[in-house]
Amino acid sequence: MASSFTYPVEENENYPFKDFLLSCARACCSPCREMNGTFVPKEIQAQTQYEEAQIKRVLIEIEEASRLSLSAMQSMFDADYEENCKRASESEKSKSEKLERYRKMKLQVEKWNPPSENHENLKKFMLSQIEESIPYASFDSFWKPERQIATEETKTKRLKELYNELSRYQKQLREQISRADSWNKWLKELWESAEKL
């Protein structure tokens, strides 16, 4: 059976090699597959918007954290703690509601009498689905908010975390650019080869 790449070869005796080459090249070039359309570009742009935005955000946070007084930091910690307590409470309520829904559904499945032997596996499957899903419904129950105290040590620790985060995004940015450069070399060589045909 012909693939989407070989179908034109089967159907058109004059199908150009260059078209086949570029069609298959698209399948081998992951950035090309992510683009809309069927063409193979001569060059791609590094997709760095996310990393650039994160670097900008982290630089702002570093600047703010550097200027923050300990009392202002404590106010932030207190507000974060209150918000986290609220989220934890909502999460616990949601978990309880989900577990109750599973409990009720499991009771209904257990009461259900399959209409034939051929339906017994369906009942087993339904019960297994519920049992396998329950741990995920209670996953977030391990998280408990902790109150933080603002000290020079916590401020230094926060700045260190931010600088590590900045370093990580800068590394990811360099990797994105390097990948694009590598693909651009590959595309340049491909197009030079195709132009010789």
Query: pLDDT per residue over 154-174, tens digit each?
Result: 999 999 999 999 999 999 999
Does position 140 have pLDDT exceeding 70, yes or no? no
pLDDT digits (tens, 9 = 90+) for 94-109: 889 999 999 999 999 9
pLDDT digits (tens, 9 = 90+) for 41-63: 889 999 999 999 999 999 999 99
Question: What are the φ and ψ backbone dihedral angles of 115, each rounded to 5 degrees?
Answer: -70, -20
Q: pLDDT grade, residue 141 (50/70/90)?
A: low
What's the first-to-final CA gap in the chain, in angstroms? 28
Cα angle 170, 174, 180; round to 5: 145
**Position of tokens 């309880």?**
96
Percent of the chain with pLDDT over 90: 63
Contacts of 180 (CB under 8 A, 6+ apart): 31, 44, 45, 46, 47
